[in-house]
Amino acid sequence: MSTSSDQSNSDAQDSVPKAVVSRLSLYLRELQHLIRDGRDTTSSTQLGSMLGLTDAQVRKDLAYFGQFGYPGVGYRCAELVSEIKKILGTDQRWHVLLVGVGNLGRALLGYKGFGQQGFRIVAAFDTDRSKSGKEFEGVRVYHLDDLARVVAEQNIRLAMMAVPSEAAQPVVDRLVSAGIQGIMNFVPVTISVPDGVRKVGVDLAIELEQLSYAVVKSGEKV
């Protein structure tokens, strides 16, 4: 479900299932916790049990990308962290922009977790001219009309979008033509992007709905 027009072959030789990549991020997170706790090595069994997965699945997932473990020993945490970062592309630093400096947008600007994983929000955009030139959380706000210029100047490849629903698709079109390669969409709307541009959607209400379903269902069972 990563691209809009999946009927063609935009993800052509995907070969790595999407679920595997998202578990990779979870492994990374747990490994970083293990390192913080002073652990040098771990095993597929340990990693799996931290996340509720089988050991076989952990090994199989990693095997998509190479051989990172040592038979009889396990995985060296620091080494595996750096391998996973290489795979995810977070061994490099990414410049990210934000469109929509509202409620949610400002929270994203202040969110510490991005920087820790290699993402830096370097510019924000809004159509409200009264915000232009201001800074929030140390990030300069530009008018949306300056998008293409700033993207080029600051070498920005990823965008986060937190705008009103009606604005979503028009903003996406502008992001795409400014050369943005990936969009993280917080607007509860299905956006469409051309082949070659990636998107990820985060719909907070949908997550709550999933929770509601799970709670109701587990209630019925009793």
Partner DNA sequence: TAGATTGTTAATCGATTAACAATC
* Residue 173 interacts with which of a second copy, DNA, none, CB < 5 to 8 Å by class: none
Work out whether strand 41-42 and strand 75-76 pair parallel, antiparallel, or are unpaired: antiparallel
Nearest-angstrom CA–CA distance, 159 and 180: 7
Among 24, 28, 69, 144, binds DNA (CB under 7 A): 69
43 conformational bin, left if phi > 0, alpha if psi -120 to 50, beta if neither: beta
56 binds, among a second copy, DNA, none (CB under 5 to 8 A by kind): DNA
Smallest separation, CB 69 to a second copy (Å): 21
213 sits near DNA (criterion: CB under 7 A): no
Least spacing, CB of residue 85 vs a second copy, in Å: 9
| Residues between 65 and 104 with contacts to a second copy, criterion CB under 8 A | 87-90, 94, 96, 103-104
Phi, psi (deg, nearest 5) at residue 187:
-90, 130
Number of residues interacting with DNA: please give it, by CB under 7 A. Answer: 25
8 binds, among DNA, a second copy, none (CB under 5 to 8 A by kind): none
Binding region for DNA (CB under 7 A) out of 73-81, 103-111, 171-179, 190-198: 73-81
* Residue located via tokens 């992001």: 175
Identified binder of DNA from the candidate list 4, 20, 104, 118, rule CB under 7 A: 20
Question: In this structure, what are the phi and psi dihedrals at residue 99, rounded to the nearest 5 degrees?
Answer: -110, 125
Please name which of 202, 125, 198, 127 lies closest in space to residue 157, comparing C-alpha atoms. Answer: 198
CA distance 107 to 114: 12
Contact yes or no for 198/174 (Cβ under 8 A): no
Residue 40 touches DNA, criterion: CB under 7 A = no
Judged by CB under 8 A, the chain residues 121 through 160 that form the site for a second copy are 157-158, 160
Main-chain phi, psi angles of 136, to 5 degrees? -125, 125
Tokens of 196: 């070659």
Question: Is 56 an interacting residue with respect to DNA (CB under 7 A)?
Answer: yes
Q: Would you state the structure tokens that stand for residue 20, as one six-digit string?
A: 């595997």
Shortest distance, position 167 Cβ to DNA, whole Å: 31
Interface residue list for DNA (CB under 7 A): 15, 17, 19-20, 43-45, 53-57, 59-60, 62-63, 67-75
